[in-house]
Structure 1
Amino acid sequence: MPASEAYFEFLCRMGDNTLILGHRVSEWCGHAPVIEEDIALANTALDLIGQTQMWLGLAAEVEGKGRSADDLAMLRDAWDFRNALLVEQPNGDFGQTLMRQFLFDAWHLVMLKGLMSSSEPRVAEIAAKAIKEVTYHVERSGDTVIGLGDGTEVSHAKMQAALDLLWPYVGELFVADKVDTAMTEAGIAPDLAELRTAFDAHIGAVMAEATLTIPDSRFAHKGGRTGTQHSEHLGHILTQMQWLQRAYPGASW
């Protein structure tokens, strides 16, 4: 795979992760259990969408086909998206949403730390800007996981169920393919395997404080981001997210 193609793919992965999770989180707007959480989740979604603009904007430049970040976000079909399966999982109850958020945030933080040393200045710049928001995201989601996990019997049970449900999707975040290998060899992105130690240490500390048990890692999912392995959830997300653009192509306000 040519370096430029691998680079475009990598940028789409970063942007698609934040885009799809940002949309998922935004679904809580007006529906969160308390107004403080409603506002906090809306702000998290806005942060993620803002990061999407940077990643997909750079991806469009690298592709060089005249597409914009909006084109990549709104006009691709489900099989062309490269997000991890974790971020497209349903919100479920509030505990499931926060568990999904924390697992992604913990990965996102170690990834951005690695990208700050990228050989590509634009990537390093985006990472440096995004990490300020993500540092807050992971603190907030981690504190909430602890509070609910070490809370009542009901909240503890729901958080353990959420962890059991979502943990199998974590493995995909650290399984390198030819794109990841090309990016590591070019110095653009860190070695995924090297990120796992820091990730596991962070997750382990939070789950211990939350009195939650991490499932057996042997059952961790090792899916790929080929575009053909997305669940039916992504199609539902895109139906909502892309409806206006597809109903009124090229419309402007």
Structure 2
Amino acid sequence: MTSTTDPAPARTADARVDAHLAVHLVRLGDDALVLGQRLCQWITRAPTIEEDLALSNIALDLVGQARTLLTFAGRVDGTGRGEDDFAFARTDREFTNTLLTELPNGDFATTIARQLAYTHYAVLYYEALGGCADPELAAFGQRAASEVAFHRLHADTWTERMGLGTPESGRRMQRGLDEVWPYIAELFDEDDVSRHLCAAGIVPSPAPLRPLWERRTSEIVTRAGLTVPAPRWQARGGRAGLHTEEFASLVAEMQSVHRQFPGGTW
């Protein structure tokens, strides 16, 4: 990841809007980057060669989305930071991804459950972003929604395949859903940043998307012969830099080459 994009001035007359937009872009970029890194851990470890390739390609799409979003954020906030600065020069507490995206892979069923939850959200959000007034954001949203739609199909297909497969595959898929569902709420949370941007007409709010997300994911889970989880607790904190115990090691793994060869190019 190497960016040569020159810093650009603020995009609007309202510096506070630009500051909030930069935060929002980093959040989206961190979600994609961290989930992509998690999926990379399946390389050479997936159940089949086909799935090794599929998960690798999904990870590449996510990292590509992260590169665009993080570079965009560096232009909007006026710092001129590039994708490498965001990815490799921050501590784990400075990342603002949702906890869902950093969850350990677990077994294949748990990874698919995480993919099911994230991809249905991401398609809905990027489709909404594709209708925003900013042409650059809108173009990104449309492209990202198209990419993630294929990721969603992959997750839907495997959820049904495992749910309707053997008793063991169904048990594992249900367990994966139960592990993942407590981390859903953070995807749709609103705060001052999202409310300010929504009020200014810059980006859509994720909150109104949750009912449709619930309907679509419930249809897949039910069709797979599984039960939609009803968690008694909801995990939050990732947006504020409060992460799971395993996250620091994921960041260290992602940044290991950069730490060993700071400033290196290749």
TM-score range, shorter chain: over 0.9
Mapped pair 1:42 → 2:56:
yes
Mapped pair 1:249 → 2:262:
yes
**Please, what TM-score do these two structures have when normalized by structure 2?**
0.91
Alignment of 1:1-253 (within 5 A): 2-216=16-230, 218-223=232-237, 225-227=239-241, 229-253=242-266
Aligned-partner Cα distance in 2 for 1:80–1:224: 10
3-state SS in 2 of match to 1:232 = coil
- How big is each residue's C-alpha offset from its partner over 1:113-156, in whole Å with a ceiling of 9 and x where there is no partner? 11011122221111111111111110111111111012111011
Aligned-partner Cα distance in 2 for 1:129–1:16: 18
Q: Using the TM superposition, name which of 165-174 and 213-222 deviates more.
A: 213-222
Which letter does structure 2 place at the counterpart of 1:250? Answer: G
Aligned-partner Cα distance in 2 for 1:158–1:15: 30
Which letter does structure 2 place at the counterpart of 1:29? Answer: I
- How big is each residue's C-alpha offset from its partner over 1:160-215, in whole Å with a ceiling of 9 and x where there is no partner? 11111110000111111111111211222222221012101111100101111122
Q: Using the TM superposition, name which of 180-189 and 204-213 deviates more.
A: 180-189
Aligned-partner Cα distance in 2 for 1:212–1:180: 34
Contact 1:175–1:222 (Cα < 8 Å) also in 2:
no
Give the total of aligned pairs.
252
3-state SS in 2 of match to 1:118 = coil
Which letter does structure 2 place at the counterpart of 1:44? Answer: I
**% identity of equivalent residues:** 37
3-state SS in 2 of match to 1:225 = helix
1:233 shift after superposition: 1.9
In the alignment, structure 1 segments of 5+ residues that lack a partner are: none
Q: Using the TM superposition, name which of 184-193 and 161-170 deviates more.
A: 184-193
Aligned-partner Cα distance in 2 for 1:222–1:28: 26
Aligned-partner Cα distance in 2 for 1:224–1:49: 19
Aligned-partner Cα distance in 2 for 1:235–1:38: 25
RMSD between superposed Cα atoms in Å: 1.3
Which letter does structure 2 place at the counterpart of 1:43? Answer: N
Which letter does structure 2 place at the counterpart of 1:244? Answer: V
Contact 1:108–1:134 (Cα < 8 Å) also in 2:
yes
The equivalent of 2:5 in structure 1 is none
1:242 shift after superposition: 0.4
1:223 shift after superposition: 4.1
3-state SS in 1 of match to 2:71 = helix
Aligned-partner Cα distance in 2 for 1:205–1:94: 21
Which letter does structure 2 place at the counterpart of 1:100? Answer: R
